């Protein structure tokens, strides 16, 4: 069963990052969300179920916003191509939707909670693989995004990620805030140099994988 879920995760990610049409991108995001839910709630612990529910509600809302922004854009410009997102309102809605999917401030509340309720290996997937499709969407639409909104979200994420991380005692929550902070840096670079953001993301993925797998090996329970 785990193999099916992981295959679906990879499939969803691949569909989103290789699509040109908004509907296929949305479809990939939905497959991803549905595939990771069983992995979060695997232990059947009330906390894990709560984490899965929080994750599902946030991602469903964000996916609906992605669909809404692309429909608004198609309504006004007749374009369903991801790179042709030119309508200002659509850009604002999309930026908010992706921020919600990634867990940028002020949409970050779900992420530490979900990570705290998940097993370490699922936490690793949530922090790395699940961030790739939204970042790819930002990468593809970066020329038309609203710089003011993105910069504001990024600065707040970087600051709050750092500050709140100092305030935690649980390892997974510290990692969650570290992730929020890193995503803040990625969001601020993407307007000026999208390729650098991807490089930053790859490095972040390697570091996070190293931390999570180490913690998993020494069986850290917090």
Report the distance separating Cα 98 and Cα 143, nearest Å.
Answer: 15
Write the pLDDT tens digit of every residue in 42-57.
999 999 999 999 999 9
Per-residue pLDDT in tens (0 to 9) along the chain, 222 residues? 889 999 999 999 999 999 999 999 999 999 999 999 999 999 999 999 999 999 999 999 999 999 999 999 999 999 999 999 999 999 999 999 999 999 999 999 999 999 999 999 999 999 999 999 999 999 999 999 999 999 999 999 999 999 999 999 999 999 999 999 999 999 999 999 999 999 999 999 999 999 999 999 998 876
What are the tokens at 104? 């940028």
Query: What is the value of pTM for the model shown?
Result: 0.95
| Cβ pair 25, 66 in contact under 8 A | yes
CB contact burial 91-115 (16+ within 10 A = b; e otherwise): bbbbbbbbbbbbbbbebbebbbbbb
Burial class (CB in 10 A: 0-12, 13-18, 19+), 58: buried
């Amino acid at each position: 069963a785990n193999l099916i879920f992981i295959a679906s995760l990879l499939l969803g990610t691949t569909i989103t990052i290789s699509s040109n049409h908004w509907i296929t991108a949305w479809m990939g995001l939905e497959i991803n969300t549905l595939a990771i839910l069983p992995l979060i709630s695997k232990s059947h612990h009330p906390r894990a179920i709560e984490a899965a529910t929080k994750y599902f509600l946030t991602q469903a809302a964000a996916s609906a916003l992605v669909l809404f922004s692309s429909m608004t854009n198609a309504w006004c410009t007749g374009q369903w191509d991801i790179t042709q997102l030119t309508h200002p309102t659509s850009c604002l809605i999309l930026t908010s939707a992706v921020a919600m999917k990634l867990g940028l401030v002020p949409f970050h509340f779900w992420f530490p909670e979900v990570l705290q309720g998940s097993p370490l290996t699922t936490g690793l997937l949530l922090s790395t693989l699940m961030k790739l499709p939204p970042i790819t969407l930002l990468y593809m639409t970066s020329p038309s995004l609203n710089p003011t909104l993105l910069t504001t979200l990024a600065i707040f994420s970087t600051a709050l990620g750092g500050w709140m991380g100092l305030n935690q005692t649980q390892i997974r929550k510290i990692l969650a805030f570290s992730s929020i902070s890193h995503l803040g840096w990625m969001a601020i670079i993407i307007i000026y140099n999208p390729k650098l953001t991807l490089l930053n993301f790859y490095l972040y993925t390697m570091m996070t994988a190293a931390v999570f797998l180490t913690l998993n090996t020494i069986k850290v329970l917090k």
